[in-house]
Structure 1
Amino acid sequence: MPAAVTARISPARSTAVAARVGILLGIAVAICLVTGLISHWIQHPPAWFWWPAHPVWLYRVSQGAHVISGVVAIPLLIVKLWSVFPRLFARPILGNPLHLLERGSIAVLVGSMIFQLVTGLLNSAQYYPWRFFFTTTHYALAYVAIGALAVHLAVKLPVVHTALARPAVEPSADSGTASRRVVLGAAVAAAAVAGVAVAGQTVPLLRRISVLAPRSGEGPQGLPVNRTAVEAGVAERARDAAYRLTVTVGERTAEFTRDALAALPQTTATLPLACVEGWSVSADWSGIRVRDLLGAVGDYTGGDAVFRSLEQGGLYSRSALPESHVVAADSLIALRLNGEDLDLDHGYPCRLIAPTRPGVLQTKWLSSIEVR
């Protein structure tokens, strides 16, 4: 870059700042990536994937960390781009193959990062101003970002190493320009404020100061609701006196009215309802253990159980509960929530609630359970 241009760039827009902010950004992105992959694999499990049923708060922490780290990454990415922006237009724009590879990786990396963080933030607020399906697109672009980041690091690692090893020279106090320490401090402070602003939907102690948390614990019976019975089109059938829950275990099938379910031995468990948008709320759920209900119908010898909702169609009108969760003592067919009958919007007449599961897999308004 010409010396005349370099002289006009603030010393705070330095490789040293970019490298240090990049490290913080890399940590946030790594946490976001790993926890995001875990959430996706829980919902769409590969054959090799296994997720434990305990501790009960595991998914709550994992997905909360996913959303918080994603939000924290936003101000860090802004500062990172600010620090390198003038140098993105240094001559030559393309240059030799290595320089071309670097520029290409930067373009793909910046584009995919902005897309992932912006769409992820809008998803946490359940706002979708696009036509593509968020989950699969978000998952696919994560691998694009990983690839671009790997190429970028391979090209830039020597530069980063040199920048971190070299002593920082701060501008004089009367120079009128911000120091590197001020910029780094502002980046860290902005990231911390952004994280706290949404962390309350996962961490109850921060709920009152998390001004940007989309979910705060408000809703029927003290729990938020993403999808109401009216929106799911099940309100009439859920209240129907002819309602029956059909349970199939092997070759045996039985039907239960809600009163029949209530007459079976009941268990109460304190479990968090944790959703992919990052919010979670603990509650007391009462109902029949899944394993006990299956045992009342037939001889459960293992395997996943498939739960279907009264909702017709839709991606989450059914879910599969892994065997490790089926046999867990706190996996319930819930009839009551916080000492009251389930609210219609929380799954009345009965719903699945199991530990360490995303809310979209805690099937509401159950119509059938099947183990073959």
Structure 2
Amino acid sequence: MGLRGPRRAAARAAIEGLRELTELGLTSSQIFRRADELLRPALEFDAVCWHTNDPSTGLVNSVQSDDLNLGQFQDAVHLEVWADDLATFPKIRNSGVHAETLSRASRGVPQRSIRFREQISRHGFGDELRAVFDAAGGMWGCAAFMRVEDRGPFPAQQRELADAAAKLLGQALRASHIPTAGPPGADPTPAVFLLDRHNRPRALSGPAEELLSRLADPSPTSLRVPTAIAMAAEHARRATHGLPSPHVPVRIRTHDGHWYLLHAAALREMLPADPAADEVTVVATPASPAHIVPLHLAAYGLTAREQEVALLLIRGADTREVAQRLAMTPYTVQDHLKSVFTKTGVGRRQELTALIMQALNTPG
């Protein structure tokens, strides 16, 4: 990576430590704290903001930081959703890399970034290094590392180190989603949140109040609702303005391991001065097997093709039927099966089905 002396030793220690995270059975919050300890000496950042994501859509659904005052986090959420900025998490992911610096993306003129002008520079930082934690086709998390202006921009070697680290963190976060035995399924009653234009709850129904605590962010913020709910609401507002926005529900996992889907819809303005303008209704419902099973398979590290094979087997298809449906030879199906069995730790199709069915009855 071109690093020398202490930096090179710190980088090597960070990579070796991150490789071990997958095997430790840590939660996402614990993974972030350990990653902070490992990467801070190597990346030489002064502050970091960690996020988990909906693996399918890549939308941020939590925030964790011991360095930053999140008293204006509502503004950060708004910028993240509405600003067509440089080096955003989606743009980094779509570029094919795992990490990018704002200084490089702006060609040395970070003032071109609205995020830099309105947030980063106002807090005394001179550069930002963002990383996306992808693994097995899903985006399991992301982070923004910042350093004070006096220390200059992140050099290319540290961006390369962050790129390598991001891949390992993606694997660790993916593994943290492997289902384990736990309490029974979630309350099937939908939870309804009515939010004003500032994402403050105006009304709650069903188990909404109880669900707020189970979805609470690891770090306190200025938001009156968890990050996932605010993000879903902002994207619903984008949709009403005809702007591109995910048209699928946001997936979020509670602290006790249950998956929920967040469906958001903006209320229509009926009068020019309607006080309900920009209000949004967010409905949280327990995720169905159709939404959970692909996440469980991805958590075991199955590729997209292996997931297709596994899903057909779980639905009762035999080797010939799988081969026909997926336009592959029976021998290729068998090769995929071997890999599926190895990754999930089972030896037969019946065991694979039992494993997934058991996961549907316990938190994931």
Q: TM-score range by the shorter chain?
A: under 0.3
Larger radius of gyration: 1
TM-score normalised to structure 2 length: 0.24
Which of structures 1 and 2 has the larger relative contact order (alpha carbons within 8 angstroms, sep 6+)? 1
